[in-house]
Chains A and B, each alone.
Chain A
Amino acid sequence: MTQSYRNIMMFAGMAALLALVGFGQGWDIALLLLNMCIISAIMALGVNIQWGYAGLFSIGSMGFAALGGLAGVIVSARPVPGAWQAGGLGVIGGIVATVLTVALGVYVWRRLADQGRRRYWGTGVVVLIGFFVIRGVMGPAIAAIEEVDPAAAGYLGGLGLPIILSWVVGGLFAAGVAWVVGKVSLGLRSDYLAIATLGISEIIIFILKFEDWLTRGVKNVTGLPRPVPYEVDLIASPAFQDWATSIGSNATAAASIVVKLCYAGLFSVVLLLVLYLSEIALRSPWGRMMRAIRDNETAAEAMGKDVKARHLQVFVLGSAVIGIAGAMLTTLDGQFTPTSYQPLRFTFLIWVMVIIGGSGNNWGAVLGGFVIWFFWIEAEPMGLWFIDLVSSGMAEDSSLRLHLIGSAAYMRLLTMGVVLLVVLRFAPRGLIPEVKR
């Protein structure tokens, strides 16, 4: 059996699994699963660009996904003019002060390069003074903004533009932050880079969680506009009702499915586009150079390749893809909830997708995204069924049986761990191994 035949069979198998859910649990659930699978696949493509192409060990995808989500808020949320009047100037001043502080800090740091301890003290003093200036400028403005209608707003709001624009903006946000992060941290050895990026992604989440003027923090931003029609509008329209009856369904059920199909269509376009671009990049001389750098940095450098610049480039590209997926996730949810960003879900699970799919292979990353998300969600019902089967010999009210059934939700963590360890040990190249070119 050739590899390409196997690949087609695996994707067909994945489609069959989704169809099985459609027949078993309903098409509504199957389509929701499909939409999340597509988003996961795009995130996995982003991580694959960093790790699979270039061997960059960054475990900060959570931060970039959240920045994409932030773009969803800033682009599409309803503007809050009152808040802008109350503290807009102060916030802009604060942002300018932040940029100036960073620029001045970097300047002093570079200027005092060969001055020993004075370098640390000088930079430290500059940053500290800058910190107090920023606090002084922004503090009152933030307090004023949070005063404005705290129950519904209490933040600056967005621009009120179509949310689909945020997919581009989210990618740009993530790319911009990734440039800064990469610039300072990419020189680190692999495991130090991993810990640094993990820390930076947590800091990003902390800022999104507690800077209420920007994101409403833990109060969440809900009711973001959709790029697709609303179910209630569809149900109310007579034309849609007629159509639903003509295909032998009722309007309520049909509306929910049509909306999800619209999302699936939009998401598929992005997935195919990213996948296409990733594939041609991987096959191009640029992709060959990346693999050369990954496999032997010293040799690549000796051939005159600028390893540092290429690492930065690939880090920014991968992060941008993750940011796009993050914005799409916020679009699908229709809300931005900073507390939902957990490293387990947005960093480590994405890594599991890439490793199991096959690092270095874009199709593998996509398949990994689909398979892992599918089992992440379906492990619970499957675990419940399994536990029910195993414990069926016990009495109906046996406390052990009840405890086991109550714990079925945690089967997903266990399953993911075991699957990851087994694949790493026995098939370290993943479901669709990297193609040797």
Chain B
Amino acid sequence: MTDLLNALVIIANFIIVPGLAYGSQLALGALGVTLVFGVLRFSNIAHGETMAAGAMFTMLFTWLLQSMGIGFGPLPTALLALPFGIGAAMVLCLATDRAVYGYYRRVRASPAIYIIVSVGVMFVYNGLIRFVVGPQDRVITDGQRFIMKARAFKQATGLNEGLAIKTTQAVSVGCAVLAVGLLFWFLNRTRTGKSMRAYSDNEDLALLSGINPERVVLITWLITAALATLAGTLYGLDKSFRPFVYMQLLLPIFAAAIVGGFGSPLGAIAGGFVIAFSELTVTFAYKRVLAYLLPDSMAPSTLVQLLSTDYKIAVSFAILVIVLLIKPTGLFGQRTA
């Protein structure tokens, strides 16, 4: 019995807890990508950089708050700075839309042109971020580091294996639940949210029924900016803020959005967790888990690992490609590819 519990604790510690946190971050990122795809109808290559920009703004406001001596008790100060960061990211997104994307909407550019345009935006954001804060690795979390420490857990339960939960992991999941709850309430219950879904489902019909497209686009950018900032900040809190990492996150995020069905918010959330847990389960070494579960004579001598951890991110690329090739509409999508 204890063996079984020990095995479960290892899995919880190395797969479930990190997977929930990483999955929440991916889901928030994928929601942004999927909203832009659903309403503005293009794949936004600049989304990773939008996340980086949002996280950067939050970081700058965090420094400001810290220099004023304001903290958030055991929670990271960045959470207090988040609303300001989101505000700054909203301004950035709206300015970009006004200066860049608006024109291509008017001329009804093809999806390919949109992607090339978003590559240009990506370059500009990329440069701006490095111009402001440089390429360094920065730790932006403060407050209490752990909710539950491995040793405290061992003492409390008397098990061999420890379970550690970082504050940032709990914050990630909490913020994601809150944000997703708000988003779905907005999309399903409010007039503006319904008009957004209508516009996404059938543009012509929505225009006929008097929905103002520019307003829908504006709201979409505001929500996208908020989600991107949240996702970027949570990832930065959990790991650390490095500008180039967000570009590497772009493909896992697209993978999450596509696995769930491009354009479907529910699918984006499911996709985020599918990607996070696949990355972790495929590259986890099950040796110690099996050592608890199997009798001593059958204990494995190898690591029992499907793929080395080097390939962690590659797993999401592989899933992305396989889903695109086999079922491009994803798990929840209706739109054809």
Complex Cα–Cα for A412 and B206 (A): 42
Please measure, in the bound complex, the distance between the C-alpha atom of A188 and the C-alpha atom of B111, giving whole angstroms: 13
Residues of A within 8 A of B318 (CB): 199, 203
Q: Are the C-beta atoms of B42 and A191 separated by less than 8 Å?
A: yes
Question: Does the CB pair B43–A191 fall under 8 Å?
Answer: yes
User: Taking the complex as formed, is B308 at the interface, i.e. its CB lies under 8 A from any CB of chain A?
Assistant: yes
The reply to whether A195 and B254 form a contact with Cβ atoms under 8 Å apart is yes
Q: How many residues of A contact B (CB 8 A)?
A: 46
A131 to B282, CA, bound (A): 13
B115 at the interface (CB under 8 A from A): yes
Cross-chain contact B131 with A188 (CB below 8 angstroms): no
A199 with B321: in contact, given A210-B308, A417-B124 (CB under 8 Å)? yes
Complex contact B126–A413 (CB within 8 A): yes
How long is the Cα–Cα vector from A355 to B117 in the complex, in angstroms?
Answer: 11
B317 on interface, CB distance cutoff 8 Å: yes
- How many angstroms between the C-alpha atoms of A409 and B131 in the bound complex? 9
Asked whether B122 lies within 8 Å of A414 as measured between CB atoms, the reply is no
Q: For chain A residues 40-83, which have a beta carbon within 8 Å of chain B?
A: 55, 57, 59
Secondary structure call for the B interface: helix
Residue of B116, B126, B251, B317 contacting most chain A CB atoms (<10 Å)? B116
B 86-138 contacts with A by CB, 8 A: 100, 103, 110-117, 119-128, 130-132, 134-135
Bound together, the chains give a CA A332 to CA B326 distance in angstroms of 40
A contact residues around B43 at 8 Å (CB): 191, 194-195
Contact A414 B310 (CB under 8 A): no
Number of B positions contacting A (CB below 8 A): 47
Q: Which of A185, A202, A203, A344 contacts B126 (CB 8 A)?
A: A344
Contacts A191-B115, A424-B117 given; indicate if A413 touches B110 (C-beta within 8 A).
no
- Whether A289 sits at the interface, judged by CB under 8 Å, is no
Chain B nearest CB from A183 CB (Å) reads 10
Write out the residue numbers on chain A whose beta carbons fall within 8 Å of the beta carbon of B132: 407
When the two chains form their complex, are residues A57 and B115 in contact, meaning their CB atoms are under 8 A apart?
Answer: yes
Residues of A within 8 Å of B114, CB to CB, are 191
B121 touching A190, Cβ below 8 Å: no
Q: Which residue of B lies closest to A415 (CB)?
A: B127
**Chain A 180-207 interface mask (CB, 8 Å, partner B; 1/0):** 0000110011111011101110110010
Given contacts A184-B325, A188-B324, A195-B320, contact A202 B122 (CB under 8 A): no
Given A355-B116, A416-B123: A199 touches B310 (CB 8 Å cut-off): no
Query: Given A407-B134, A417-B127 in contact, is the A196-B116 Cβ separation under 8 Å?
Result: no
Interface positions, chain A 343-380, Cβ under 8 Å from B, are 343-344, 348, 351-352, 355
Candidates B113, B120, B134, B311; contact of A406 at CB < 8 Å: B134
Known interface pairs A190-B110, A206-B317, A348-B119; A421-B124 also in contact (CB < 8 Å): yes
Pair B314/A203 contact, Cβ less than 8 Å:
yes
Decide: A417 and B134 in contact? CB cutoff 8 A.
no
Q: Is there an interface contact between B251 and A199, defined as CB atoms closer than 8 Å?
A: yes
Least CB distance from B109 to A in Å reads 9
Query: Is the Cβ of B121 less than 8 Å from the Cβ of A417?
Result: yes
Return chain A residues, CB-CB under 8 Å to B324: 185, 188, 192, 195-196, 199
**B-contacting residues, A415-437, CB 8 Å:** 415-418, 420-421, 424-425, 428
In the assembled complex, which residues on chain A have CB atoms less than 8 Å from the CB atom of B326? 120
| A-chain residues with CB within 8 Å of residue B251 when the two chains form the complex | 195, 198-199, 202
Contact A210 B311 (CB under 8 A): yes
Complex alpha-carbon distance, A204 and B60, angstroms: 37
Question: Cβ of B320: which chain A residues have Cβ within 8 Å of it?
Answer: 195-196, 199
Partner of A421, one of B110, B121, B135, B317: B121
The distance in angstroms between the C-alpha atoms of A30 and B321, with both chains bound, is 42
Known: A184-B325, A195-B43. A206 touches B127 (CB 8 A): no
Contact A190 B111 (CB under 8 A): yes
CA distance A349 to B74 in the complex (A): 44
Contact present for B314 and A206 (CB under 8 Å): yes
Residues of B within 8 A of A195 (CB): 43, 251, 254, 258, 320, 324
Give the 10 A-B residue pairs with the shortest CB-CB distance, closest first.
Answer: A417-B123, A414-B127, A413-B127, A417-B124, A410-B130, A420-B120, A206-B314, A421-B120, A210-B310, A199-B317
With A194-B115, A425-B100 known, 6 other A-B pairs at CB within 8 A are A185-B324, A190-B110, A414-B123, A415-B127, A417-B121, A420-B120
Q: A residues touching B (Cβ–Cβ < 8 Å)?
A: 55, 57, 59, 120, 131, 184-185, 188-192, 194-196, 198-200, 202-203, 206, 209-210, 343-344, 348, 351-352, 355, 406-407, 409-418, 420-421, 424-425, 428
Enumerate chain B interface residues (CB-CB to A < 8 A). 42-43, 100, 103, 110-117, 119-128, 130-132, 134-135, 247, 251, 254-255, 258, 306, 308, 310-311, 313-314, 317-318, 320-321, 324-326, 328, 337
